[in-house]
């Protein structure tokens, strides 16, 4: 993560939240194995 905090654009926040959700999704997928979803 970059320590340089510039202007926080809503797009950046949206992108970060999307990435976070994908990471959590992947973690759940690996943790509990393949699921039909």
CA-closest candidate to residue 2, choices 16, 20, 14:
16
Q: How far is 35 from 29, CA to CA, in rounded Å?
A: 7
- Write the pLDDT tens digit of every residue in 1-37: 555 566 667 888 889 999 999 999 998 888 887 665 5
- pLDDT for 36 equals 58
Q: Residue 2 burial by CB count (10 A; 0-12/13-18/19+): exposed, middle or buried?
A: exposed
CA-closest candidate to residue 1, choices 26, 20, 25:
20
Q: How far is 19 from 11, CA to CA, in rounded Å?
A: 12
């Amino acid at each position: 993560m970059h320590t340089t905090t510039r202007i926080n654009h809503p797009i950046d926040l949206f992108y970060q939240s999307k990435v976070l959700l994908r990471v959590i999704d992947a973690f759940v997928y690996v943790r509990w194995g393949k699921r039909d979803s």
